[in-house]
Structure 1
Amino acid sequence: MTQIDQAVDIREGEELDVAAVDRFMKQAVPDLEGVPAIRQYPGGASNLTYQVDYGDRSYVLRRPPFGKIAKSAHDMLREAKVMRALKPEFPYVPDIVAICDDHDVLGCDFYVMERLKGIILRQDFPADFELSEADTRKLCLNVIDKLVDLHSVDARATGLDKLGKGPGYVQRQIGGWSDRFRKARTDDVGDFEAVMGWLSDKMPEDIAQVVIHNDYRFDNVVLNPDNPFEVIGVLDWEMATIGDPLMDLGNSLAYWVEADDEGAFQMLRRQPTHRPGMLTRNEMVAYYAEKSGVEIDNFDFYEIYGLFRLAVIVQQIYYRYYHGQTRDKRFAAFGHAANYLEKRCQRLIEASEL
């Protein structure tokens, strides 16, 4: 059986107050005994995720990053409430165990959820996780199917339709992400003005208003260790909302690095989409259109939007590193990544027929 995803030692500066976590957990789950063992999941560059173990009982705690953060970002309470509302209609959401808005506990909002014990595919397949090309394709299709399933959820049945602000989602995203980039720009990163101008000029109308994940990729999907084709969970609902499904697909494709992509893009790869059998980005779009029934004439806008949005996320994180608000060395090269993504967007714009 392939190794189940495990937490590791906590990064320096991101330790939790074990006694405070213990008090909170025993109020939320009264029959817990002993002192918790707390470790940290190494993935992710935004919110921090910890494994909290009481013997063989295992939970996951999610909190925002340390240091100064944007007021509207890293909203743990919103994420937990979205998950609770969505769970009855989309069973791949982990159960929420407890929510905390008392900053006397850990100095921030946080929540605790069930731990889904399974395989999470990160940059590469685990050493003991070998699939044939045909099986890799089967896995890939199953993962895309869950995104299609999410987009078909009845938002009104979940009560999440109230998250949406109505028509104009595409316009709000382009305006919002452009504003965020300008606020997070550092002197060593390009200005993206040509990219933002093109996106503003080429905005299509929303095609629909559905529940979207906004960060759907392999390392946010949990696979059954006994049947790795089966998706048993979808994680990281921080940016979930009501919006345009093709914008969601564009976000996913920003992370979709193919085997023959140029070296600079390969360096950004964080999931095993380069493996033989994985769909290409064009195949992804065609398959999504077939399964969802959505007509897609030209995907250029959504692909470029996804890359731009990724660049803004990267730049927001780099801004914190650049200004000494985080010491995490993983973020030291994020400025170079933002510059590369600007060039990639510009090349796609030059080639676009829009």
Structure 2
Amino acid sequence: MPATATPGTETPGADPAAVGAWLAEQLGDPAWRQASLEPVGAGRSNLTYRVDSPAGSVVLRRPPVGEVAATAHDMGREQRVITALAGTDVPVPKVLASSAGGPPVDAPCYVMELVEGVVPLGDLPPGWAETPAERARAGTALVDVLATLHAVDPDAVGLTGFGRPEGFMARQVRRWMKQWEQARPHLTAADVDDTTAAQLTTLAADLEAAVPQAQRSAIVHGDYRIDNCLFDAADPGRIRAVLDWELSTLGDPLADVGLLLVYWHEPDDEPIWRAAQHLPSPTSLPGFPTRAQVAAAYAERTGLDLTPLPWYVAFGAFKLAVVLLGILARVRAGVVPASMADGLDGAAAPLVALSRHVLAEGLR
């Protein structure tokens, strides 16, 4: 029967024997029963495992172990958007099987094809994108794929009703403020001090008071960044798959651009930007475009007016601060491994400061 693995086990929330038996049934090959699982990524949000067996290799996705916000970790939504985009120019893995709950992991999950490639994290792999020209092509590909996603007609691919574009950004501010309020009781003073807590509340009010008018609606990824894309190992200018669709919906496409720029690093970043960069990124290496160049390329591809972009960047920093505090709250509550808090000490305050700065001063 399926295991309910506890945090701290080698593969929390997924038992290899249960997964193998389920795959053997779903994919029609008993060789899947000899499956082994290996965690992929940091596992701070939805959990990802590489599944290997004599029958082949696939990838399993399931929600985090422990109590989480269901709307933020909806496997059905993630599976739906990937399936819908399979016939478009947006590169996504193919979904092979899914479960609404029960076997194999006692939670909703799905299995997709394994796409080989490079996920750029911090230091680039030796031999990949070694020249500035290759890194420039990787940056161009990142913008092109995002623009391509935002050009997809949701109705044409079966995503009617996938989200509510009207009033999207105002609801997003309220949603993430609610997430912060739910996380706060579990946090320590070391996680977030009283000043930062008060500033988060004030910041949400300031953002809500200045929400820009959306220029169009689109399929929004929700966490689009360079390390959520899998690049071709032989061609840095080609993205083979966009990953981690758990926050996708229909809404304002500039939300994706704003958050992408929060994650972006530049070699000459001012201290207020540098302090907020808790997640690694290779984009400060020579050849990668600057934030201004990313924005200009996106505007050229889409025809959107990026005058209100600072608001979207400020919202992105606010949202990321709440996301990281949510991870810390789950660690403090004991529902996820303590290792998930690694590197997040003091992460919220600089992001709140960056959001306030950008909202007041623009992208400087």
Aligned residue identity for 2:28: P
Q: Does 1:139 align with 2:138?
A: yes
Q: 2:147 and 2:277 mapped to 1: Cα distance?
A: 29
List gaps (5 residues or longer) in structure 1: 1-9
Q: 2:326 and 2:208 mapped to 1: Cα distance?
A: 21
Query: Residue 48 of structure 2: SS of its match in structure 1?
Result: strand
Tell me, yes or no, if the aligned pair for 1:119 and 1:223 is still in contact at 8 Å. yes
Identity percentage of aligned residues:
32
Q: 2:206 and 2:345 mapped to 1: Cα distance?
A: 22
Query: Residue 320 of structure 1: SS of its match in structure 2?
Result: helix
Tell me, yes or no, if the aligned pair for 1:14 and 1:66 is still in contact at 8 Å. yes
Q: Does 1:193 align with 2:201?
A: yes
Q: Does 1:234 align with 2:242?
A: yes
Residue of structure 1 in register with 2:298 after alignment: 288
Query: Residue 113 of structure 1: SS of its match in structure 2?
Result: strand
Against the structure 1 CA distance between its residues 15 and 166, is the aligned structure 2 distance closer, same or farther, given a 3 Å change threshold? Answer: closer
Q: 2:276 and 2:235 mapped to 1: Cα distance?
A: 29
1:83 Cα deviation (Å)?
1.2
Q: 1:266 and 1:113 mapped to 2: Cα distance?
A: 34
Superposed, 1:307-318 pairs within 5 Å as 307-318=317-328
1:68 Cα deviation (Å)?
1.8
Superposed, 1:131-280 pairs within 5 Å as 131-185=130-184, 186-188=187-189, 189=192, 190-191=196-197, 192-261=200-269, 262=271, 264-265=274-275, 267-280=277-290
Residue of structure 1 in register with 2:4 after alignment: none
Tell me, yes or no, if the aligned pair for 2:219 and 2:251 is still in contact at 8 Å. yes
Worse-superposed segment, 103-112 or 125-134: 125-134
Q: With structure 1 as the length reference, what TM-score do the two structures score?
A: 0.91
Worse-superposed segment, 192-201 or 327-336: 327-336
Residue of structure 1 in register with 2:358 after alignment: 348
Query: Residue 305 of structure 2: SS of its match in structure 1?
Result: coil
Q: With structure 2 as the length reference, what TM-score do the two structures score?
A: 0.88
Against the structure 1 CA distance between its residues 296 and 349, is the aligned structure 2 distance closer, same or farther, given a 3 Å change threshold? Answer: closer
Deviations 1:75-103 (A, max 9, x none): 11221122112211245111100011232
Q: CA-atom RMSD, angstroms?
A: 2.1
1:157 Cα deviation (Å)?
0.6
Superposed, 1:9-24 pairs within 5 Å as 12=10, 14=12, 16-24=14-22
Against the structure 1 CA distance between its residues 217 and 108, is the aligned structure 2 distance closer, same or farther, given a 3 Å change threshold? Answer: same
1:251 Cα deviation (Å)?
1.7
Worse-superposed segment, 252-261 or 302-311: 252-261
Residue of structure 1 in register with 2:313 after alignment: 303
How many residues matched?
A: 344
Residue of structure 2 in register with 1:101 after alignment: 100
1:350 Cα deviation (Å)?
3.5
Residue of structure 2 in register with 1:319 after alignment: 329
Residue of structure 2 in register with 1:4 after alignment: none
Q: 1:250 and 1:223 mapped to 2: Cα distance?
A: 22
Q: 2:327 and 2:125 mapped to 1: Cα distance?
A: 27
Query: Residue 103 of structure 1: SS of its match in structure 2?
Result: coil
Tell me, yes or no, if the aligned pair for 1:321 and 1:332 is still in contact at 8 Å. no
Q: 1:28 and 1:156 mapped to 2: Cα distance?
A: 30
Q: Does 1:29 align with 2:27?
A: yes
Q: 2:90 and 2:298 mapped to 1: Cα distance?
A: 21
Q: Does 1:41 align with 2:40?
A: yes
Tell me, yes or no, if the aligned pair for 2:29 and 2:55 is still in contact at 8 Å. no
Q: 1:242 and 1:88 mapped to 2: Cα distance?
A: 18
Deviations 1:28-53 (A, max 9, x none): 11124150121111345211110111
